[in-house]
Chain A
Amino acid sequence: MDEKELLINPVVNENVIHNQKSVTDIRSLTSSVLGVAAGILGLESLTGFAFYLAGSFFVSVLMLFLLAGGQPKSFFRGSTEIWTHEVFGTTSLSSYVLTWTLFYNLVRA
């Protein structure tokens, strides 16, 4: 976005940050739940990561239609942010692996 565009259509910075924080919160919570499910299902190696990708895609679709109303442009600066933000971040992927391994071992103890 160039400067002229920003002057014509100003952007509320607090809301950009707020939205990113919301997405980060949702991602970290949902990745823990996905990890629990993957551990109970007993997924191993690449299957588990494929499960995580599929689950994250489902969460993105949910956010797109339930929260953003199908219009991510009016809530995020970038058009792909709702799909990719924090998917491979430290709070989500590592908490997925944490709960995945934890529940895998709890169930098969």
Chain B
Amino acid sequence: MTVLSTSLLLTAALLLTHSCYSAHEHSSLSPTSAANPSTMPLDIQIETVIAALLALIGIVLSGGKDQLREIQQRVWMGRLEREKGAGPWSMLEERVGFLDIRERRREFGEWAKGGK
């Protein structure tokens, strides 16, 4: 839920509630019969449509960036490695058994002595 979608949804809910109440008041106050059906006032119609459109945009945006994921494996793996630092095969790239402990020790020694 992003801030934008939440505010859109809140606005839409407010407008929709208001238009629903207005429509109910209109239908209960205006005399109608089968021969003379009352039409909804234009402002209520416009308000309803705008509220629906805002709600649709809010719902579509509510999932954020993760809503759709790339299905091409190379694109998806690239995105994983760029954003999370590792794909599903990270255990193949970081193998502790192959760690060169002497090299690491030498690097640490140089760093501790004040080299770069």
Q: A-side interface residues toward B, CB under 8 Å?
A: 9-12, 15-16, 18-19, 22, 25-26, 29-30, 33-34, 36-37, 40-42, 55, 58-59, 62-63, 66-68, 74-77, 103, 106-109
Contact = CB atoms under 8 A, between A and B. Distances in A.
23 contacts: A11-B72, A12-B73, A16-B71, A19-B68, A19-B71, A22-B63, A33-B16, A33-B56, A34-B52, A40-B16, A40-B19, A41-B45, A41-B48, A41-B49, A55-B52, A55-B56, A58-B53, A66-B61, A74-B70, A77-B71, A106-B24, A107-B24, A107-B27
Determine the main DSSP class of A at the interface with B. helix
Contact of B60 (A9, A11, A41, A63): A63
Contacts, number: 104
Contacts of B24: 106-107, 109
A76 B19 CA distance: 37
B52 A33 contact: yes
A29 B59 contact: yes
Interface of B: 12, 16, 19-20, 23-24, 27-28, 40, 44-45, 48-49, 51-53, 55-57, 59-61, 63, 67-76
Contacts of B20: 36, 40, 103, 106-107
